[in-house]
Amino acid sequence: MRETGKQRSQRIQIDYYRHRGGLHRFRTLCIAVGGIVAVLYACFVLAGSAGKSHLSTGPVAMAHASFENDCKLCHQNFTPISSDASSLDIKPIGVNATKSIQHIETACQSCHQVGNHYRETMRPEAKLVDQNCAGCHVDHQGRDHNLSLVANERCASCHANLSSVCSAAPSVNANVVAFTKADHGDFASLQKPDPGIVKFDHAQHMRPGQVDAGQRGEMTLAMLDESLRDRYRIDGQDDSAAVQLDCGSCHQMAGNPSGADTMASDGELGRYMAPVSFEQHCSACHSMNSGAATADTTPIPHAVPWSKVDLLLAATIDGVRATGQARSPRGDKRTVAVPGEGLGKPATGESVSSIVDVRLARERVQSQCLKCHDQASITDEAIRGSLGNQSAQMIPSRWFEHGIYDHAAHRRIDCKYCHEAAYNSDTAAKPATDQDVVMIAGIQSCTGCHRDSELPTPASLASSETVSLLGGQPTWASDRCTLCHRYHPPGAVTKVER
């Protein structure tokens, strides 16, 4: 006979919940043991510094190791320090994103006094991200972790769509996601003329004797002052040899000069080239004089007010008369060597016009100045401004306005690899002077080596000419943004926004 539902229900014990079995007893035991362990662990953590180490997410970087056990220097209750701190806003439990970010920046600025990253141009929500130091510098990753190595993705989080970050239209490429010409754009310096205003022909100066092939009148070592000849002498040359300049004759590596840059705050050798100096690099061949100069006459100083030049000219004119080197106020006969524009230049003859009028002498000096400068650059106002660093730079200290370049790291590479325009030997195709030409190569000269490690070596780096120019330099290097760009400019300390 088939059992009914009522009959089956009679077999169920109504008070089954009152009878505890083995499973219930095991669960109760686990809860009790867990509670006891939690209490004991809390006592251990609160008992001393050894226990507090259990709360850390890992060892801090070497730079912060000295205060690793003093957590309160960086941390405080309900103020998270993480890359997500700007979005962690849970006010009901006391977590306030704005206060957390303010605390992060204040804590970091107590030791690292750096400027912000164009914060004045950012939208309000982007400013909060800029204040979050932990967004880029993540600690507790071990002693060997480099806090300054920032992943490209962090830079691209803003620069991939810079228009959404800036309060106005950005003045640089608004969409940068990788270091290629397509994803980065070419260097901004190549998109406008060279800002320098000194007239100079690089190719002409690197030719033997600074003259075109087959032409006469080359500059020889004998034409230089004896004390300067060894500076320009190449091994095996005698004094009759032509002066042969190279890039190193005028350009030497130097560190970052104080206050010269807003994006490169370190002083590492190679960040800059030392400034070109007239006295050090030009005066050997282009010593200025009044035309009444002798081998014993002091050359006209460079970049001084004209009132001082006039005094020196007057003294020179009176001096050649007093020593008998000029026969009379209009005398033109003397037997001493005439330096001309190069100290030690041989005499050109017995009869040489001796300028005895200061006004005419000044005109001669000005004509020498105009070989390199325009008229506006040699006025008293411009000269005083340049001495006080109040005028625009005649020769910029750098051409990469938003990035840095390490010449020391690339010292094996021939200068021609990046500055081929300075070697232009086609006189018919090039201007008389090249002060309007930015003589640096485009981004393609960098991306061949600075590329993703998974990409193969480009075929362009395998040619015999390129291999020779590279001089044994490795053909792969990191494409990390921080190699060329600095996030924090030097200068005034950021005032924490409250």
Q: What is the pLDDT of residues 399-432, one digit of tens each?
A: 787 888 889 899 999 999 999 888 876 655 555 5
Residue 345 lies in a domain: yes
Q: Using alpha carbons only, what angle is made at residue 274 by residues 273 and 275, rounded to the nearest 5 degrees?
A: 115
Burial (CB count <10 Å: 0-12, 13-18, 19+), residue 230: exposed
Please tell me the total count of domains within the chain.
2
Choose the final residue of a domain: 153, 178, 203.
Answer: 178
Residue 354 lies in a domain: yes
pTM of the entire structure?
A: 0.74
Choose the final residue of a domain: 387, 408, 443.
Answer: 387
- Average pLDDT on 441-461 reads 93
Residue 420 lies in a domain: no
Domain that holds residue 117: 62-178
In this prediction, residue 66 carries a pLDDT of 92
Residue 227 lies in a domain: no
Choose the final residue of a domain: 354, 387, 420.
Answer: 387
Residue 395 lies in a domain: no
Residue 344 lies in a domain: yes
Residue 135 lies in a domain: yes
CA distances from 111 to 60, 64, 98, 114 (A): 16, 11, 21, 9
Q: What is the length of the chain?
A: 498
Residue 109 lies in a domain: yes
> What is the biggest distance separating any 2 CA atoms in the chain, rounded to whole angstroms?
155
Neighbours of 288 (CB within 10 A): 20
339 band by pLDDT with thresholds 50, 70 and 90:
very low
CA distance 438 to 396: 11
- Average pLDDT on 117-124 reads 92
pLDDT 10s digits, 60-112 = 999 999 998 888 889 888 888 888 888 888 888 778 888 898 999 999 999 98
Backbone angles phi, psi at 461, to 5 degrees: -90, -5
